[in-house]
Amino acid sequence: MIFNSIRWRIQVWHGVILLVVLTGFGLTAYKVVRENLMRGLDKELEQRFALAFFRPPPSGPPPDEPKRKGPEDGPPENRRRDHGENRMTPALFRARFLEGLERISANEGAQTNAFYYVFWEADSSVAAKSTNAPAAVPMPTLQAFPESGKPVPGPRGPSFRTRENLREAYATFPGESILLVGRSMAPELAAMRHVALWLFAAGTAILALGLAGGWWLATRAITPVEAISATALKIAGGDLSHRINAADAESELGRLAGVLNSTFARLEAAFAHQVRFTSDASHELRTPLSVMLSQTQMVLSRERSPAEYRQALEVCQRAAQRMRKLTESLLVLARLDAGQETMKRERVDLSKAVHESLELVRPLGGERGIEFHAELGPAQCQGDPERIAQVVTNLLANAIQYNKEHGKVAITTFAENHSAVLRVADTGEGVPAADIPHIFERFYRVDKSRTGTQGRTGLGLAISKAIVDAHSGTIEATSEPGVGSTFTVRLPAV
Ligand code: ADP
């Protein structure tokens, strides 16, 4: 399913997070704007009270109050004393409010969104009302005054209320009359609708841009992964030559592509090695098998003398022995490869191992007139005595086999740098430098024409290397063509 892809998941998560952030931001911005507008409106309403109260009448005292001597008229101490609550009677307040409000209302009356006011007496009758006030304005509830006993000259409030799209402020005066100032909220509501629309449009645009950007980024991030999976698919299909084309080798995915490429390369090499090994093994097994078949066919084609039967049987026996040697060697290698060959961990002295192997190969050397020189110093290591003896015998057999007639074989054992060392040097034809890296490979022979002759399998050095590897040791060869070869084995000392 395409919607299960990483790209879609990233996109969905990205979209959800973006939506939540934008919604949160939009709601907060809208709330802030709304509160600011309402605060502004309430401030304007408050100012109506202040204007009504503080704007002095154009001339003389309020109509129902006789002109009194003001605090400004007397001496400074009088001014201080008289300038206070006692001078303002509730009636004076009321009168000044009403006068101020009338003046303001008269000024603003013509404006479309003008303020209106309503003034109720204590008995709930409307004492004064601006011409633009709505027909029915419900009277607000009275606000209680502190029971100090002393009359409070100023108004109590203002408090605010919202009725439909009207915002009203009201204050209770001493004497329990109520003044209400109000205005339509239409401009504020229109402004808020405008802001909401803008926030929605901007939010939608940012969301669309964010989603497009997210899709682009996810696509960019996923492209190398898709390249990796496409290459892996081709490789799984059998074509091991494909490699991932990593554009940016330093990025995380570039490094992953590099690691996978080297893994694929190793896989390809191992696969090629395996194919070559199987074909070499079948080829090696086919040769003695063909010999046996041709011999038996030839003998059975007509009646033979006992000597002829015997000769044919001997050829078949030699072929069968060779097959057995091959299959045993292949089995050992397969076990060593699979780590199934359990190695004993015993103290082995290489000098002793050489001594025993020499006794085994000496007759073979004698046939070719080979001279042995042994310098066998103590070289203790830990390992499987039988397997180590197999390595020593292989090297000695090779040193005899690939030596010239009446050549020499020098064998030394010694301890060096925490290693037990065995060195076998011969005076044979040597190995060309180009072949040295390959002689430890399975079925590799320098002289291909010697295939199948003299019981050689091309597996001796491969088995020796596998055994040495299993002991965490090393085996290496140096050679000078025409002079001779030297094989050195190093095994960890006890
Ligand atoms: P083989 O059964 O052919 O001896 P090995 O694995 O023992 O197989 O050796 C692989 C090849 O390495 C041999 O075919 C030979 O060409 C070369 N080789 C091994 N030992 C020597 C040596 N001492 N001198 C020269 N060539 C050698």
Cα of 494 vs centre of ligand 1, distance in Å, is: 30
User: Is ligand 1 within 6 A of the CB of residue 456?
Assistant: yes
Task: Specify the 3-state DSSP secondary structure of 117.
Answer: strand
User: Does ligand 1 lie within 6 Å of residue 446's CB atom?
Assistant: yes
Contact between residue 265 and residue 242 where contact means Cβ atoms under 8 Å apart: no
Which ligand 1 atom sits nearest the alpha carbon of residue 455?
2
Question: Alpha-carbon torsion 106, 108, 109, 115, what sign?
Answer: negative
pLDDT of residue 201: 96
Please report the sign of the dihedral spanned by the C-alpha atoms of residue 291, residue 331, residue 338, residue 469: negative
480 lines ligand 1 (CB under 6 A): no
CA 117 to CA 100: how far, in whole Å? Answer: 11
Residue 127 contacts residue 121 (beta carbons within 8 Å):
yes
Pairing of strands 177-184, 408-416: unpaired
Query: CA–CA separation, 216 vs 146, rounded Å?
Result: 68
Please give the Cα distance from 490 to 471 (Å, whole number).
10
Q: Is 484 in the pocket of ligand 1 (CB under 6 A)?
A: no
pLDDT at residue 299 in the model: 92
164, 374, 396, 462 from 468: Cα distances, Å: 97, 22, 16, 10
Q: How far is CA 261 from the centre of its chain?
A: 20
Instruction: Determine the distance separating the centroid of ligand 1 and the alpha carbon of 447, expressed in angstroms.
Output: 9
Q: How many alpha carbons lie under 13 Å from residue 367 in its C-beta half-sphere?
A: 6
Pocket test for ligand 1, best of 440, 445, 479 (most atoms within 8 A of CB): 445
Question: Residue 279 C-alpha to ligand 1 middle, in angstroms?
Answer: 20
User: For the chain, give me the number of helices (H) and strands (E)?
Assistant: 9, 12
By most ligand atoms within 8 Å of CB, the mutation choice from 446, 449, 453, 464 for ligand 1 is: 446
* Strand-strand pairing, 380-383 and 419-426: unpaired
pLDDT by residue, tens only, the chain of 494 residues: 566 788 888 889 999 999 999 999 999 999 999 999 999 999 988 887 776 665 544 444 444 444 443 334 434 444 334 444 445 666 776 677 677 777 777 776 656 677 888 888 888 888 888 888 888 899 988 766 555 555 555 567 788 999 988 999 988 876 777 888 898 999 999 999 999 999 999 999 999 999 999 999 888 888 888 888 888 888 888 888 888 887 676 778 888 888 888 998 998 988 888 888 888 889 889 989 999 999 999 999 999 999 999 999 999 999 999 999 899 989 888 888 888 778 889 999 999 999 999 999 999 999 999 999 999 999 999 999 999 999 999 999 999 999 999 999 999 999 998 999 999 999 999 999 999 999 999 988 888 765 445 567 889 999 999 999 999 999 999 999 989 999 999 999 98
Residue 481 gets which letter from DSSP?
Answer: T
Collapsing DSSP states into helix, strand and coil, what is residue 415? strand
Name the strands in the sheet holding 177-184, side by side, starting at the edge strand that comes first in the sequence: 126-129, 116-120, 177-184, 166-173, 156-163
Distance from Cα 281 to the centre of ligand 1, integer Å? 17
| Ligand 1 site, residue 399, Cβ cutoff 6 A | yes
Question: Cα separation of 295 and 298, whole Å?
Answer: 5
Atom of ligand 1 nearest to the CA of 429: 25
φ, ψ at 275 (rounded to 5°): -65, -45
Nearest to 100 by CA among 121, 123, 119, 125: 119
CA torsion, ordered 42, 43, 48, 54, to nearest 10 deg? 150
Ligand 1 pocket residue status of 284, Cβ below 6 Å: no
Pairing of strands 126-129, 346-349: unpaired
Give, using CA atoms, the residue closest to atom 3 of ligand 1.
Answer: 458
Nearest to 332 by CA among 209, 198, 470: 470
Q: Is the CB of 99 under 6 A from ligand 1?
A: no
User: Quick check: CB of 445 below 6 Å from ligand 1?
Assistant: yes
Look at residue 375 and give its three-state secondary structure: strand
Q: To which residue do tokens 């609708």 refer?
A: 193
Minimal-distance CA residue to ligand 1 atom 14? 445
* pLDDT number for residue 112: 62
Q: Which atom of ligand 1 is nearest to the CA of 399?
A: 23
pTM of this prediction?
0.58
Nearest protein CA to atom 1 of ligand 1, as residue? 458
* Six-digit token string for 440: 């430890």
SS3 406: coil
**Among 439, 454, 483, which residue has the most ligand 1 atoms within 8 Å of its CB, making it the best to mutate?**
439
Contact status, residue 400 vs residue 409, Cβ threshold 8 Å: yes
Handedness of CA 286, 289, 291, 297 (dihedral sign): negative
Residue 461 beta carbon below 6 angstroms from any ligand 1 atom = yes
- For the Cβ of 322 lying below 6 angstroms from any atom of ligand 1, the answer is no
Q: What is the DSSP string of 183-236?
A: EE-HHHHHHHHHHHHHHHHHHHHHHHHHHHHHHHHHHHHHHHHHHHHHHHHHHH
Match 């490094």 to its residue by tokens.
255
| CA-closest residue to ligand 1 atom 21 | 398
User: According to the model, what pLDDT value does residue 81 have?
Assistant: 40
